[in-house]
Structure 1
Amino acid sequence: MGGPLFLLISYISITLLLYGVATASGEMSAYLPVPGSSVAYYGQRFFSRSLGFTLGWVYWYIFSITVPAEITATYIVINYWSPPLHIAFWLTLIGAVMIALNCFPVKVYGEAEFWFASMKVFGIIGLLILSVVLFFGGGPSHHFLWFSNWSNPGPVKEYIVTGDSGRLVAFVSTTTFSVFAFAFAPELLVVTGGEMESPRRNIPTAIRRYFYRLITFYILGALAVGIIVSSNNPNLLSGGKGAGASPWAIGIREAGIKGLDSVVNVVIVLSAWSAGNSYLYLASRALYSMALAGNAPKIFTRCTKSGVPYYATAASASFSLLAYLNVASTGATVFNWFTNLINTGAYQSWICCCIIYFRYRKASDAQGITDIPFRSRFQPYSSMFSLFGFSLLLLIN
């Protein structure tokens, strides 16, 4: 969409904006690490009950609608092999497995996610190493890639219109689209804060490690993708048949490494499958927690003997039916629809997080509270920067 340079700048920009959100939510979570905590909980406690109520429903809606988005993403990558079976079969299979895993006790879910997470970490590390090898000509053809895909077709592209206006539109579009990869990670750190051991010591460590992961896996990953695959490759997310394959798989195939592209694509498929599984779990638990707090109908508190909230899971899983929009439209088009919806929710969440932090900061300063286990030296200015940046992105999304 925008070329390798705009992709890299977009990932760096979002990472910098997220610094204010993550350190703000981390400070509140470290100061008040209560079980069941969330940004919605802090919104109710530090701002107003109405904001906490609204954020709770926003999170449930966004977590739920991310499930069909991940089903769509999984199918797009599967379409790399141009499977002969009808699209509805694959959508049903992908969604059914996600729902089935969430019907088992949480121990089964946790075990599955452990192996999925391990696979993703080792997978991205391996791909980064492979990118370095290809960069220095270690592929079968011994062709040095260097930054050849930056010079041809160029580091930046035009989008929709031509000239400087086209490059501006390309940068804005790339930035807004890139947010999908980062959505709701800071909020999940808050959720786990109330459950971890010694949260006042471990939450600051988790925040720092989160940014190390962003730099290693996201920013370096964006740089590597721009090196190994050309931005005008027709197999990227273009809406055509067979399009939308993982750029890693495309780059490996272009390098002439036989068979490895399919292996990488399998890893990408399982990663998207895992993400959908996780978001369905988060959506069902968000609805269950709201029902316990009296902010949702009591029927959603009903659980199986193993503790699975089956009505909350069913209500959240019903959003997966939206994945069948792929039957009438291309996967790329449907995925763009979902991405815009999810990004809008992410912007709203991060904006509210900054506003809640300002109220918390003002209250703690007014009361002379000094027992703050974690506070960034750049606060509250980094939150002001994040509030401005995400408000702007929300308007132009």
Structure 2
Amino acid sequence: MAIGPTLGTGLFIGAGQALAVGGPASLLLSYILLSLLTYTMTTSVAEVSAHMPSRHGTLVTNSYLYLSSSVAFASTYLRWYTLALFVPYETTTAMVNLGLWKPGSAVGSRLAVITAIVVGSNFLPDKTFKASERLFTWIKIGTMATLFVLALALGLGGPDGQTAWAFKYWKHPGAMNEYLTRGIWGRVLAFFQCLLDGSVAFTFAPELIAHHAEVPPIGGGTTILGSEIAGKVTSDVLQTAFPYIMSSLAMGVMAPFNETRLTNNGTGSGFSPYLIGLKDAQIGLIPTIATIAILLSSVASGRSFLYLSSNTLCAISEFGHAPSIFSTRNRWNVPYIAVATSSVFSVLGFISVKQSSSLINNYLLRLVTSAGCISTLVSCAVYRHFRGRLKVNQITHRHRFAVQPFGTYFGLFVSTLLLLGGGLWGGVQGRVNGPRSMRFLTSYLNIAVFALLFMLHRFQYILPVVEVERPIELSRRRWADQGGPPEVRLPKSQNRRRNKLDAIPENVGAFELSLSQTGFEGA
């Protein structure tokens, strides 16, 4: 699974809020729709990446190639800080998990230990960290599979001749909940809010899947073909979507939507539906083991997101769009300054010492999901300008997916709807704790952050941005030695008001021709 390292509480616990607000049918339909959105946007990103694979992936490269430098600057820095925000999101979710399992007042010490593990592990040698990533990924995949099997067993009858649960919660209290109002519109709003809450499990999935397809295996060949990227993308999306959809079906079997433990009595994040079902079934030590496994998933996901965030910042620096100090690596290939900088955001998790962990986790949930919608919109813009550039220069696509360009229009519509409707929960009174102003702020703050980053870059005489000139590297290098394929080092244009035809330097075509020739010569 391409996003296995980031698989965590978005599925195990975050889905509990979605179930509580929408009901089991809405949860299942929302995961199906989000899986479809992931597929369409992944094919969009992969179609661009297949034209010119990059070891830095889509998080940095393509926005600078196909959009204005100001939009690229805003989107890459937004992605960096959002990936860093996932760290306190995961640590506060771990606090919720621990607090509901074993209540206590030692929130600060628990949080300090978990944060120290998450941050400290990112200073391990790169090879050691990646080896541990594979181990934690298998643990999380095994946890997901085991919980699904347990849900299936309970649905079919459970232990010692226990009555089969089947789809009893679909009948009582019902398949779909109502939200804000009664009747059909209440169910529509409940489904939409369920879609918003469930989207955290799919945030940045298209970029991560496409990046995974671009990176060759250690010791592999020196070229990645567009057809190879397309095949890996399709496989990875299926490996991600199918277990997510089946898990959403299983969670609807394990707990009813009116169970107060799902939202910690309306505070925010609560118990996983799996844990509620296992506790109610009273199957010995199984609930405790499942709680520990989900806790490990939170810690492992926090490690992975910090790794992604620090490497994104390092890549921005290597491309010359951030101070070169962030690309400094030690002898173990760790960008330790980028890791330390990204780790600063983990301090936000300590707000839960004074406030409810469930409430803080909810605020962070809104922040990361809204940033994910903005990232999707930027990917749609990249694809549009990419197609326009190829058409103007009469260049043939390396690979085309049948679902495009209509899939991009679908992603544009759904992401815009989710981004603008993110403040729906802010209008609720009496059902969600926390000031209404904070609910609206966390839902729309990233729009202001994106606009601010754009303006700061556009008007650099107000706040100069350090951009280091890098020469264009056209020489052939071994991927296994350098950690990736030859990169196109884009010279910084003095004219900041570039149009879409100037977004790709003219030497890109020459680079592609040279790359294809060397590939044939080596074959």
Q: Is the 1:239–1:330 Cα contact (8 Å) retained in structure 2?
A: no
- Quick one: distance in 1 between partners of 2:121 and 2:265? 30
Instruction: Give 1:335's match in structure 2, choosing from 335, 353, 361.
Output: 361
Q: How many residue pairs were aligned?
A: 396
Q: How does 1:203-282 map to 2 (within 5 A)?
A: 203-239=229-265, 244-282=270-308
Aligned to 2:68: 48
Deviation at 1:371, TM superposition (A): 5.2
Aligned to 2:320: 294
- Quick one: distance in 1 between partners of 2:213 and 2:241? 22
* 1:70 matches 2:96: no
Q: For residue 280 of structure 1, what is the amino acid of its counterpart?
A: L
Deviation at 1:44, TM superposition (A): 1.1
Deviation at 1:66, TM superposition (A): 0.8
Deviation at 1:256, TM superposition (A): 2.4
Deviation at 1:177, TM superposition (A): 1.0
Aligned to 1:7: 27
> Per the alignment, do residues 371 and 242 of structure 1 end up closer, same or farther by CA in structure 2, a change over 3 Å counting?
closer
- Quick one: distance in 1 between partners of 2:172 and 2:418? 30
> How far does the alpha carbon of each residue in 1:313-340 deviate from its partner, in whole angstroms, 9 at most, with x for none?
1111010110012122222211110011
Secondary structure (helix, strand or coil) at the match of 1:303 reads: coil
- Quick one: distance in 2 between partners of 1:136 and 1:393? 36
Q: For residue 304 of structure 2, what is the amino acid of its counterpart?
A: S
> Per the alignment, do residues 287 and 206 of structure 1 end up closer, same or farther by CA in structure 2, a change over 3 Å counting?
same
Q: Is the 1:67–1:280 Cα contact (8 Å) retained in structure 2?
A: yes
Q: For residue 381 of structure 1, what is the amino acid of its counterpart?
A: F
Q: Is the 1:88–1:324 Cα contact (8 Å) retained in structure 2?
A: yes
Deviation at 1:125, TM superposition (A): 1.6
Deviation at 1:47, TM superposition (A): 2.0
Aligned to 1:357: 383
- Quick one: distance in 2 between partners of 1:31 and 1:122? 36
Q: Is the 1:284–1:309 Cα contact (8 Å) retained in structure 2?
A: yes
Q: Could you state the TM-score of these two structures normalised by the residue count of structure 2?
A: 0.72
Q: Is the 1:141–1:255 Cα contact (8 Å) retained in structure 2?
A: no
- Quick one: distance in 1 between partners of 2:268 and 2:198? 22
Percent identity between the two aligned chains: 30
* 1:346 matches 2:366: no
Q: Is the 1:81–1:242 Cα contact (8 Å) retained in structure 2?
A: no
> Per the alignment, do residues 301 and 378 of structure 1 end up closer, same or farther by CA in structure 2, a change over 3 Å counting?
closer
The higher radius of gyration belongs to 2
Q: Which runs of 5+ in 1 are unaligned?
A: none
Question: Higher RCO, 1 or 2 (CA under 8 Å, sep at least 6)?
Answer: 1
Q: For residue 173 of structure 1, what is the amino acid of its counterpart?
A: Q
Instruction: Identify the range of structure 1 (300-309 vs 336-345) with the bigger mean alpha-carbon deviation.
Output: 300-309
Deviation at 1:83, TM superposition (A): 4.2
Instruction: Identify the range of structure 1 (291-300 vs 235-244) with the bigger mean alpha-carbon deviation.
Output: 235-244
Aligned to 2:4: none
Instruction: Give 1:57's match in structure 2, choosing from 77, 83, 102.
Output: 77
Q: Is the 1:17–1:386 Cα contact (8 Å) retained in structure 2?
A: yes
Secondary structure (helix, strand or coil) at the match of 1:375 reads: coil
* 1:185 matches 2:205: yes
- Quick one: distance in 2 between partners of 1:302 and 1:377? 42
Q: Is the 1:287–1:312 Cα contact (8 Å) retained in structure 2?
A: yes
Q: Is the 1:234–1:243 Cα contact (8 Å) retained in structure 2?
A: no
> How far does the alpha carbon of each residue in 1:136-195 deviate from its partner, in whole angstroms, 9 at most, with x for none?
113334211111011111111123444444333322211111110111111112333442
Q: Is the 2:151–2:274 Cα contact (8 Å) retained in structure 1?
A: no
Instruction: Give 1:158's match in structure 2, choosing from 137, 158, 178.
Output: 178
Q: For residue 146 of structure 1, what is the amino acid of its counterpart?
A: A
- Quick one: distance in 1 between partners of 2:326 and 2:283? 51
> How far does the alpha carbon of each residue in 1:253-289 deviate from its partner, in whole angstroms, 9 at most, with x for none?
2122121111111111111111110111111111112
Deviation at 1:235, TM superposition (A): 1.7
Deviation at 1:241, TM superposition (A): 9.3
> Per the alignment, do residues 140 and 369 of structure 1 end up closer, same or farther by CA in structure 2, a change over 3 Å counting?
farther
Instruction: Give 1:79's match in structure 2, choosing from 96, 99, 110.
Output: 99
- Quick one: distance in 2 between partners of 1:77 and 1:355? 39
Q: For residue 315 of structure 2, what is the amino acid of its counterpart?
A: S
Instruction: Identify the range of structure 1 (8-17 vs 89-98) with the bigger mean alpha-carbon deviation.
Output: 8-17
Instruction: Identify the range of structure 1 (214-223 vs 359-368) with the bigger mean alpha-carbon deviation.
Output: 359-368
> Per the alignment, do residues 74 and 202 of structure 1 end up closer, same or farther by CA in structure 2, a change over 3 Å counting?
farther
Q: CA RMSD in A?
A: 1.9
Q: How does 1:137-176 map to 2 (within 5 A)?
A: 137-176=157-196
> Per the alignment, do residues 240 and 371 of structure 1 end up closer, same or farther by CA in structure 2, a change over 3 Å counting?
closer
Aligned to 2:7: none
- Quick one: distance in 2 between partners of 1:289 and 1:242? 35
Secondary structure (helix, strand or coil) at the match of 2:244 reads: helix
Q: Is the 2:101–2:291 Cα contact (8 Å) retained in structure 1?
A: no
> Per the alignment, do residues 317 and 113 of structure 1 end up closer, same or farther by CA in structure 2, a change over 3 Å counting?
same
Q: For residue 339 of structure 2, what is the amino acid of its counterpart?
A: T
Deviation at 1:363, TM superposition (A): 2.2
- Quick one: distance in 1 between partners of 2:171 and 2:351? 38
Aligned to 1:115: 135
Deviation at 1:75, TM superposition (A): 1.3
> How far does the alpha carbon of each residue in 1:355-392 deviate from its partner, in whole angstroms, 9 at most, with x for none?
111111222234343352x3211110111111011111
Instruction: Give 2:152's match in structure 1, choosing from 129, 132, 152.
Output: 132
Deviation at 1:205, TM superposition (A): 2.3
* 1:396 matches 2:421: yes
Following TM superposition, the consecutive aligned residue runs of length 4 or more in structure 1 with deviations greater than 6 angstroms are 240-243
Secondary structure (helix, strand or coil) at the match of 1:103 reads: coil
Q: Is the 1:101–1:277 Cα contact (8 Å) retained in structure 2?
A: yes
Aligned to 1:304: 330
Secondary structure (helix, strand or coil) at the match of 2:192 reads: helix
Instruction: Give 1:19's match in structure 2, choosing from 12, 24, 39.
Output: 39
